[in-house]
Each structure stands twice: as C-alpha cells, then as structure tokens.
Amino acid sequence: MRVLITGGAGFIGSHVADAFVALGHEVLVVDNLSTGHRENVPSAAEFVEIDLADDGLADVFERFRPEVVDHFAAQASVKVSTTNAIFDLTVNGGGTARIAELCSRFGVRKMIYASTGGALYGNPEIWPVTEEHPIKPLSPYGLSKRVGELYIDFYRRQSGLNATILRYANAFGPRQDPNGEAGVVAIFSGQLLRGAPCTIDGDGEQKKDYVYVADIARANVLALHHGDGEAFNIGTGRGTSVNAIFQTLKAVTGSKADARYGPPRPGDVRDIWLEYAKAKQGLGWEPTVSFEEGLRQTVEAMRAAG
C-alpha cells in the first residue's frame, strides 16, 4: 500500500516507517524537521520537508495518493503545552483537523492517529485505565490530542473517514532525543552515560506506563487492517516509578551519578497505567518487550550512537 506518515522523521514515526518499509509498503514521510531528524527516515522511503500548515501539503496528497495516512506530527511536550497552550492547540488540534480534511478530500482508505493515553484521562479513578474511563486531561497537551480525536470523529460522521486511534502510554526506545523535553528514559540514559546527575521531578514515586517503541510500531502495522472506527490503549498494564527507572538505568549504564529532586512538573498525571485488553481483542496486539529489556536496548543504541 501507499502509506503517508506525518512526523515520520521523529522518534516513534521513524520506527513505524521502518516497519512499513520492511513489509514492502510504499512509504512517503512528511516532516518539518522541527524536532525530527532526516537521518531517521529509512532510505527506501520518500521524504518531503513540509509543515502541516503549508498549502503545498495538498499537492503532496494529490501526487502520492496515499491509501493510508499515519499521523504522528505533533507538539509532544506536556511542559511546552502548559507554557504555550495556543501553539500546542494549533499544532495538535488544528494540524490533525488539516490531515483529516485532506484524508477525506483525497479518498484515503484509512487514517491512523497517534493520540495519548498517558495524558488523556487525567488522574485515574481506576487502575489500569480502560478506554471507557472519563476523559479529563490535566494539561493542554492532553486536551489538544483529544481535540484531534474529536476532529477525526467529525470527519467520520461528515464524510465517512475510516480511522483507528492509538492512545499510547509513555513511549521509549532508540532515537528518542536525550536532550528533548519529553522522555525520561532517554533523558536519564543520556545523562548517566555522560556521568551527569539526573533531576527527578517531585518525589520520584509517581508511576507511569512505559511501552517500547518496537511494540508501538507493531500496533501501527496491525492497525492497517484492524480496529476500524475504534480507539485503543497501547500500554503494558504496569506502572513503574521514576525512582525505579533511575536505579535500573544506573545499574545498566554503570554510572556513579546521583539523583537530584526538583518540583513536580505542572500538568503531569501522577500515577497512570493502561489496560490493553481491548487492543488484544481488536488488533491482536499485546506488549512483547519487557521494560527491563527495552532499557537495555535503549542504552546499547545510545552507546553505539556515541
């Protein structure tokens, strides 16, 4: 199939592009490279540097005529969203509306949308969190990703757009930027490999769900042919504290660096992990890479990259 991936030069999107190329699909990556990197794009994929707001994006759709659009391009930082909510909404809400409109206009068979599970539901009432949990985001980021879901639902009702929404837990793995705003595993790995101390937000006992990027890529592959019209949590059903991450990474890297503690991060959910039973039934998906193995692979990749 012809698959267009927005944000395919980024951390998750590039792994998904690799997976689609490996299966023989014709892949076109569009990315403005604001946070992505050209070298992440597989050599077998076509690449167009363009912003979602650029009028020329319609020309890309018209030329390539994608059968599937996998939408990853986003403002992905909770911290940034709390300081610049308008920018966050413009990119995540407005950008997703633009992609959904183009999918409808050019007869795309299916849209796959990268939403959030970690920031969508707010403070959980039950654990693990299911897709039926009330949606009460604590940050503009969670809110803007929900707006994207609602735009997709609007185009489904208006023009019959078929879509699968994947609500990710905290993704981690190779290619995540250790100097970025998001991704505690990447940030701590980079600092510990340099022998630098790590700053833990709050008391470090907050627990989140961490899912390895290869498992996320597999969920996208399965969504090509399954899960029409549905939203699925993509997580592990397990919560891991930031303190535990630090101690495990310290052992894996052999670092002697210590942890420092700072204030809690604004807009952050303290404890959340996701139930994946619906994804298992509707997509045939479940996590296969353990958190500990994922940490080892992440550190090895970071070491190899220098």
Burial of 281 (0-12, 13-18, 19+ CB in 10 A): exposed
- For residues 132 and 248, state if they share a domain: no
Give the pLDDT score at 95: 98
Q: What end-to-end distance do the CA atoms of the chain give, in Å? A: 36
**Residues of the chain falling short of pLDDT 50:** none
Contacts of residue 101, defined as CB under 8 A and 6 or more positions apart, other chains included, come to 155
Helix axes 242-253, 184-193, angle to 10 degrees: 40
**CB of 261 closer than 8 Å to CB of 236:** no
Structural domains in the chain (count):
2
- For residues 89 and 63, state if they share a domain: yes
Q: Give catalytic status of residue 168 as yes or no.
A: no
What's 133's domain CATH number? 3.40.50.720
- For residues 60 and 115, state if they share a domain: yes
What's 181's domain CATH number? 3.90.25.10
- For residues 105 and 201, state if they share a domain: no
Reported as type and span, the H/E element at residue 167 is strand 163-168
Q: Where are the alpha helices (DSSP H) in the chain?
A: 11-22, 57-64, 78-83, 85-89, 95-105, 140-159, 184-193, 213-223, 242-253, 277-282, 291-305
Side by side, which strands form the sheet with 163-168?
Answer: 46-49, 26-31, 2-6, 68-71, 110-116, 163-168, 231-234
**CB of 164 closer than 8 Å to CB of 228:** yes
Domain with 186 in it: 175-207+238-272+291-305
- For residues 111 and 129, state if they share a domain: yes
Residue type present at position 52: L
- For residues 110 and 190, state if they share a domain: no
- For residues 160 and 12, state if they share a domain: yes
Give the pLDDT score at 306: 75
Q: Which of 150, 140, 97, 168 is nearest to 268 (CA)?
A: 140
Give the pLDDT score at 181: 66
Give the pLDDT score at 180: 75
- For residues 68 and 198, state if they share a domain: no
Q: Which of 7, 9, 23 is nearest to 218 (CA)?
A: 23
Check 141, 151, 155, 276 and give the catalytic one.
141
- CA 260, CA 252: separation in Å to the nearest integer? 19
Give the pLDDT score at 243: 98
